[in-house]
């Protein structure tokens, strides 16, 4: 099963992907996580990506596409995967379609998590991430057991650099301009499924499981 998560930044793609991972035992490939890992490790890729990310802009397509296509060749992807944060532009989607077509396959489901901008802005204000392991929380919706501390590893919870309110607004603008056109792209391919992002964690998960089937 090959799945793409669509939706604005902060709509919860990563959180819902976690539910799919547990139920269907396929890995998530998150380009945002890959970049953040590279920034942490100080790699060449990380250095190139950081400026764009901190500004709320997209990393150029040529830095993203090969990276993802290579990652999909790995063994753990052979039964399927969830793409979280990729594709984010029409050229990225076309590169993915072409790479999969070459292997005689394609994406099965594109899940679009729908939310209004204002709901996202409100939600992002509460988002926290573990500085050590990258686990995400929400001050109100998904609180850690102890305030400011990661349940999984005991690391400190922080606000991501690009979750500052001004950067969030910028990212939403970039989303509407460059990423939202993917909704029509996948509708045309006949694999688009729209999910109301306001149903709460459980409600959205259930809706997703309904779409993906048992
Ligand atoms: P969110 O979904 O909350 O926006 P991500 O972790 O997916 O956060 O992405 C964070 C940042 O990483 C983006 O704002 C962008 O700069 C960069 N990024 C991630 N994926 C891509 C991609 N496919 N193409 C270009 N830039 C990307
Ligand atoms: Zn942690």
Sequential DSSP letters for 91-135: HHHHHHHHHHHHTT----EEEEEE--HHHHHHHHTTEEEETTT--
48 is catalytic: no
13 is catalytic: yes
* C-alpha distances out from residue 208 to 31, 81, 172, 178, 196, Å: 21, 15, 23, 25, 10
Residue of 13, 123, 128, 207 marked active site: 13
Q: How many domains does the chain have?
A: 1
pLDDT in tens, 145-165: 999 999 999 999 999 888 888
Q: Is residue 121 part of a domain?
A: no
Q: Is residue 65 part of a domain?
A: yes
Q: Is residue 143 part of a domain?
A: no
Q: Is residue 181 part of a domain?
A: yes
Q: What is the DSSP letter of 179?
A: I
Residue of 2, 36, 123, 127 marked active site: 127
Q: Whose CA is nearest to atom 9 of ligand 1?
A: 32
Segments forming the whole domain that contains residue 44: 2-115+175-206
187 is catalytic: no
Q: Is residue 85 part of a domain?
A: yes
Residue 214 clears pLDDT 80, i.e. is over it: no
What pLDDT is recorded for position 124? 87
Residue of 2, 128, 160, 207 marked active site: 160
Q: Whose CA is nearest to atom 2 of ligand 1?
A: 9
Question: Near ion ligand 2, which residues have CB within 5 Å?
Answer: 130, 132-133, 135, 150, 152-153, 155
Q: Is residue 153 part of a domain?
A: no
Integer Cα distance of 161 and 182 in angstroms: 26
Average the pLDDT over 188-200 and give the result.
Answer: 96
Q: Is residue 83 part of a domain?
A: yes
Integer Cα distance of 58 and 156 in angstroms: 27
pLDDT in tens, 49-105: 999 999 999 999 999 998 999 899 999 999 999 999 999 999 999 999 999 999 999
Which CATH number characterizes residue 31's domain? 3.40.50.300
Question: Do 146 and 36 meet the contact criterion of CB atoms below 8 Å apart?
Answer: no
128 is catalytic: no
Integer Cα distance of 18 and 96 in angstroms: 22
Q: What is the pTM of this model?
A: 0.88
Q: Is residue 212 part of a domain?
A: no
Beta-bridge mates of residue 192: 110
Beta-bridge mates of residue 193: 111
């Amino acid at each position: 099963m090959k799945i793409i998560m669509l939706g604005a930044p902060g709509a919860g793609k990563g959180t819902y992907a976690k539910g799919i991972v547990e139920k269907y035992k396929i890995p998530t490939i998150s380009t945002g996580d890959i970049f953040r890992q590279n920034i942490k490790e100080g790699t060449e890729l990380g250095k190139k990506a950081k400026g764009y990310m901190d500004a709320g802009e997209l990393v150029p397509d040529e830095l993203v596409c090969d990276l993802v296509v290579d990652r999909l060749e790995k063994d753990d992807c052979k039964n399927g995967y969830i793409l979280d944060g990729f594709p984010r532009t029409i050229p990225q989607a076309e590169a993915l379609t072409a790479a999969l077509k070459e292997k005689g396959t394609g994406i099965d489901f594109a899940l679009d998590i729908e939310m209004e901008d204002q709901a996202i802005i409100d939600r992002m204000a509460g988002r926290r991430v573990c500085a050590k392991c990258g686990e995400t929380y929400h001050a109100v919706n998904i609180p850690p057991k102890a305030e400011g501390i990661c349940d999984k590893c005991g690391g400190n919870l922080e606000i991501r650099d690009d979750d500052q309110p001004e950067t969030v607004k910028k990212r939403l603008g970039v989303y509407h301009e460059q990423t939202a056109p993917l909704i029509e792209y996948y509708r045309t391919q006949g694999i688009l499924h729209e999910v109301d992002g306001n149903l709460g964690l459980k409600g959205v998960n259930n809706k997703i499981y309904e779409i993906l089937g048992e």
